[in-house]
Structure 1
Amino acid sequence: MTTEKQRLRVLFCGAVLQNFFDLPAGDIGKVWAATGEMLKGIRDLPGVEILGTIDDDQTMVGTSPTGWPWTFYILAEVPDRETAVAACNLFRTIEVGEYRLWKYMRVEARIGRELVIPA
């Protein structure tokens, strides 16, 4: 009998920080480019399947408070906890000029399993 490792569901919750809003208009594009790199980086991690996304930017203006509500959400299925950690690490490693993306955004990953709804 083989036991297949159960994939995990991860809700990546992202918040835009005040440092982003304090940037001169000419520097905002660099952060958006880094954000695109981060999003593609999560999507392209081995075994990741993006199940859905939500961007709350039209109804949330300004910074996200500490904790809920967040600015954006990515629901993904990942093979293991290490993959979720690697996704969060993108905020630490992607460069925006002399800084890292985490100067402008923060992330929290909620890890669980699929909630199966009975038939």
Structure 2
Amino acid sequence: MSDTKPLRTLLCIAVQQNFFDLPFDQIGMVWKGFSTFMGTVAATEGVTVLGTIDDDETMVGTSPTGFPWTCYMLCDFPDREAVKAACNLFRTIEIGEENHRLWRYMRIEARMGRALEIPAL
């Protein structure tokens, strides 16, 4: 058994203007793709989803080019390659019938580190 600690990663996700430009009856295809993303990350061997945050009730419209993001997933990943594979899903998950990918409607950034341990006092 390896003593390698998991790579604590915050997946920061922003909804882009192309999503808001869609007619309301077409946004379901993006949510389906995003659900595929979340489910695939959660099912990846060695990944533990620790929590999620959705800011959609207090942030309406597109996210700026950084903080604050629309939603977050905090996960433990086995290694950097697994984090890269999760981010790459935005390039591969198909949305709709026009050969678009998830990254047309959302963007992702991964912040990686280690778990901050609270010292005993």
TM-score (norm 1): 0.96
User: 2:104 maps to which residue?
Assistant: 103
User: 2:7 maps to which residue?
Assistant: 8
The 3 A distance-change label for structure 1 pair 44 and 3 is closer
User: 1:67 maps to which residue?
Assistant: 66
Which structure 1 segments of 5+ residues have no match?
none
Count of residues in Structure 1 that have an aligned counterpart in Structure 2 = 118
1:12-42 per-residue CA deviation (whole Å, 9 max, x = no partner) reads: 0000000000001121110011010011011
Give distance in 1, aligned partners of 2:4 and 2:28: 41
Give distance in 2, aligned partners of 1:51 and 1:116: 15
* Deviation beyond 2 Å, 4+ runs, structure 1: none
Identity across the alignment (%): 59
User: 2:33 maps to which residue?
Assistant: 34
For residues 18-33 of structure 1, what are the structure 2 equivalents within 5 Å? 18-33=17-32
For residues 54-93 of structure 1, what are the structure 2 equivalents within 5 Å? 54-93=53-92
- The CA RMSD over aligned residues, in Å, is 1.1
2:116 aligned with 1:115, yes or no? yes
Give distance in 1, aligned partners of 2:76 and 2:82: 10
Amino acid at match of 1:24: P
Amino acid at match of 2:21: D
Which structure 2 segments of 5+ residues have no match?
none
Question: How far 1:54 moved relative to its partner?
Answer: 0.3
User: 1:52 maps to which residue?
Assistant: 51
Amino acid at match of 2:116: L
SS at the partner of 2:27? helix
